[in-house]
Amino acid sequence: MRALFSYGVAFLILVLAGGWLATGTLVMGGNGPGKGERPIISVIEGEEHGPIATQLAEAGVLAEHAEAHGPNPHLTIAQRNEQEMGGQTNLQSVRTSTYVAQAMPIEVPLRGRTQAKSSVGAVAETSGIVDVVHVSKGQDVAVGDLLCTLDQGTRAAAVAQAQAGLAQAEAALEQAQADFETNQELRDKGLAPPNTARATQVAVSAAEAQVTTAQAALDNAEAELERTEIKAKVAGVVQDPLAVAGSMLPMGQPCATIVQLNPMVFIGQVPEARIGLAKLGLEADVATITGQNAKGKVTFISSTADPATRSFAVEIEIPNDDGAIRDGITATATVNMGSAPAHLLPQSVLTLNEDGVLGVSTVADGKAKFVPITISSDTRDGVWVLGLPASADVITVGQEYVVDGQAVNATNVPVAGTDAEGTPA
């Protein structure tokens, strides 16, 4: 009897619980606000407003649920705000600054190395034994400095002999001229036949030729003697190979090698995309890996490209009065190739649109407008960009909260160092 009572109570509780649940609401997620809510009794009856649901609603025990209207997930934040405001004129506030196009310097960085302007061998113009070496490796020499002296041998005697020959030829010329003058006086007095004039003239001409020959022999002998002194033809620093005293130095062999370090030459490569801007005489700043800095000018541009890199060789001459810049040092050069109109913007104003395109948000006619840009160079003062109109009101604060074409409430703040129109003050 007690068991039947217990089962009856349990069944009654189950019926009451089922009835209470039937008056509730079933919520199905994933359909958005107000779209997944249904009365449980309508699910049981299989229709929205069945007889049981109607009686429960009339009895006031059926749960009531108002249809919710949530925001459309496909709308942007700005569009949701505009929809919630019901079309009212509460615009998104942004801050803008006017940027005007400026002359952007077109600078091309080059990487290369230094190279001596020339390396000249002071060669012997005659053969002989090296008597004295007057310089040492690493010594600075100027034009005309004595480098080596060869053994003179019989060259001094040859000069003396040539001088004697010249004196003898000159004496013979004087005698021939005296004979010609005496013969002319005798012919004038009728004491010498007229046909003797020709002989005296020939004698004078022969004597003059002898003097010329003797003078040439003396010049050759003196030149040969001077060749025993080898002098520097260019200024620079003495390097190997350097002759050794007592050794035989054949004609054409270097007594010393002089490296010309002033001016120094920087050798680099210009990419083919910039070769159209390269010109002779362009100024460049050269910095070596050892810390030297110098200004120079472009003195050579190759007419043919390197087949491997498709770049063109250039040479930049830089002064090196103190010789601090050495040959073969890795260096970089920045060549100023002119200027082009561009805008200098802070990096903070750059943004991406929905397609991932880099650009800036501007304000035109009271609406936000996205303008794609191209970064030309990055500096400490900002980034130089191309693609903007000559004057643009760029959004500096709030660009992430507006979309292209959205009406905005813009407050213009002048850029530091410019007037209200963006022109440098």
Given the DSSP bridges, would you call strands 92-100 and 102-123 parallel, antiparallel or unpaired?
unpaired
- Burial level of 94, CB count in 10 A (0-12/13-18/19+)? buried
Look at residue 420 and give its three-state secondary structure: coil
The residues spanned by each domain of the chain are 2-59, 92-104+341-412, 152-227
Is the domain defined by 152-227 classed in CATH 3.40.50? no
Residues 6+ apart with CB under 8 A from 87: none
Q: What single string gives the DSSP state of each residue in 320-333?
A: -TT--SPTT-EEEE
Q: Please identify, in words, the CATH class of the domain defined by 92-104+341-412.
A: mainly beta
Using one digit for the tens of pLDDT, what is the confidence trace for 263-291? 899 999 988 888 887 889 999 999 999 99
Q: Give me the phi and psi of 11, to 5 degrees please.
A: -65, -40
Look at residue 34 and give its three-state secondary structure: coil
Q: Mean pLDDT, the chain, as a whole number?
A: 82
Please list the residues that pair with 98 across neighbouring strands.
393
Tokens of 350: 């750059």
Equal fold, 92-104+341-412 vs 152-227 = no
Backbone CA torsion sign across 398, 399, 400, 401: positive
Using one digit for the tens of pLDDT, what is the confidence trace for 233-261? 888 899 888 888 888 989 888 999 999 88
Q: Return the HEC string of 36-63.
A: CEEEHHHHHHCCCCCHHHHHHHHHCCCC
Q: What is the pLDDT of residue 72?
A: 61
Please list the residues that pair with 374 across neighbouring strands.
386
Residues 6+ apart with CB under 8 A from 342: 101, 102, 104, 376, 384, 385, 386
Residue 309 to residues 227, 272, 305, 312, 375: CA-CA distances in angstroms? Answer: 48, 9, 8, 9, 24
Helix (H) or strand (E) holding 283, with range, is strand 283-288
Least confident among 16-20, 231-235, 294-298, 346-350: 16-20
Tokens of 129: 């034994």
Q: What percent of the chain has pLDDT over 90?
A: 29
Q: Amino acid identity, residue 337? A: M
Mean pLDDT within 227-235: 89
Q: What is the pTM of this model?
A: 0.53
Mean pLDDT within 154-172: 88
Q: Which residue has the tokens 């004609």?
A: 251
